[in-house]
Amino acid sequence: MPQPHAPTALLPATEDGIIRAAALLRQGGLVAMPTETVYGLAGDARCPQAVADIFAAKGRPAHNPLIVHVSGPEMAREIAQVDPRAEQVMRAFWPGALTLVLPLRAGHGLAPAVTAVLDSVALRMPAHPVAQRLLAAFGGPVAAPSANPSGRISPTTAAHVMAGLGGRIAAVLDGGACPVGVESTILGLTGARATLLREGGISKDALAAHLGQMPAPPGDGRITAPGQLASHYAPGAAVRLNAMRPRTGEVWIGFGPDCKGAEFNLSATGDLAEAAARLFATLHSADALGRPIAVAPVPDDGLGAAINDRLRRAAAPRGAT
């Protein structure tokens, strides 16, 4: 069970705030940290109690493994078996929005629940300077799934984290809004063929250029990532997609210059990077109005694939796993 915390501390992203956050992690506490993708709920990945508390604070099912955040390739090599293919994509995309699923190495030292007792582990080196400084101050691997209640809209500001997890975690390190705004791309490298486990901040075309082949879609239909659950990232309200205009009572979220009169617009100029950065904050704001949500079509290229993936899951019937 998570320890009852008197009000969750809001720490500034100063040297002092980061030192206090690292001390909390060392005591087995949970700290939400800004990353370039979304806020992560960080805990010591080697500490079984901290890891159990992450699952409990999020209400996350135990079969969904957590991404372990590392300070760089060196820490990754201590935890996982890193083949030349993994070295190549780490060189190209780390630090950044790419998570690699790799075979665990003997003596990795992680709490078994982090990987949901699989023999593979998901690793990422974040690019956000505050996350990097926290990892350096802490000096070890940090498990950090998105800092929101399981299945709900992901957090891209400290206020989103406070609204979802306030009172259930030790602290939030406030680094402002997350610049990428959608979660990392997850690439499976445990088999002969690289597998795209989740669309995200790095496009599959960019990966293909470095892998020499297009990553395969996940093959056997087994759920290895919560990003694969049909319903995820879900607002409280119903969500309707590809809406060219709103129906009576709906909040309309537009995309591009043609959506005149939309209450929100992911990007008035049709810029996909801007739309990704604003996606979750816009869903949070629209949801707060308490009306059904309609979203305009978003093109599927580049970051659009990750945006549409999140929107489809936000719109999926609830409880569909």
Subset of 196-255 contacting ligand AMP (CB under 6 A): 197-198, 224-227
> Is the sign of the CA dihedral 287, 305, 60, 77 positive or negative?
negative
Residue 118 binding target from ligand AMP, Mg ion, none, CB below 5 to 8 Å by type: ligand AMP
Cα–Cα dist 136/122, whole Å: 19
Tell me the angle at which helices 84-93 and 204-211 cross, rounded to the nearest 10 degrees: 130
Residue 186 binding target from Mg ion, ligand AMP, none, CB below 5 to 8 Å by type: ligand AMP
Q: How far is the CB of 145 from Mg ion (least distance, A)?
A: 5
Does 185 participate in binding Mg ion (rule CB under 5 A)? no
Residue 10 binding target from ligand AMP, Mg ion, none, CB below 5 to 8 Å by type: none
Q: How far is the CB of 32 from ligand AMP (least distance, A)?
A: 12
Decide: 145 and 54 in contact? Cβ < 8 Å. yes
Q: How far is the CB of 297 from Mg ion (least distance, A)?
A: 24
> Is the sign of the CA dihedral 100, 103, 108, 110 positive or negative?
positive
Does 120 participate in binding ligand AMP (rule CB under 6 A)? yes
- Contact string 8-47 vs ligand AMP (x = CB under 6 A): ----------------------------------------
Find all residues with CB under 8 Å of 103, minimum gap 6, and list them. Answer: 80, 81, 119, 120, 190
**Coil, strand or helix at 103:** strand
Nearer to ligand AMP, 115 or 265 (CB): 115
- Contact string 95-114 vs ligand AMP (x = CB under 6 A): ------x-------------
Find all residues with CB under 8 Å of 110, minimum gap 6, and list them. Answer: 45, 46, 68, 79, 104, 121, 141
Cα–Cα dist 260/256, whole Å: 9
Residue 225 binding target from Mg ion, ligand AMP, none, CB below 5 to 8 Å by type: ligand AMP
Cα–Cα dist 28/98, whole Å: 26
Subset of 136-155 contacting Mg ion (CB under 5 A): 146
Closest residue to bound Mg ion by CB: 146
Q: How far is the CB of 270 from ligand AMP (least distance, A)?
A: 27
> Is the sign of the CA dihedral 58, 63, 145, 277 positive or negative?
negative
Does 65 participate in binding ligand AMP (rule CB under 6 A)? yes
Q: Binding ligand AMP by CB under 6 A: which of 44, 53, 174, 183?
A: 183
**Coil, strand or helix at 74:** helix
Nearer to ligand AMP, 148 or 203 (CB): 148
Q: Pick from 38, 86, 65, 56: which is nearest to 143 by CA?
A: 65
Cα–Cα dist 185/231, whole Å: 18
Q: Binding ligand AMP by CB under 6 A: which of 31, 54, 57, 64?
A: 64
Q: Binding ligand AMP by CB under 6 A: which of 2, 95, 126, 145?
A: 145
Chain residues binding ligand AMP by CB under 6 A are 64-67, 101, 115, 118, 120-122, 145-146, 183, 186, 197-198, 224-227
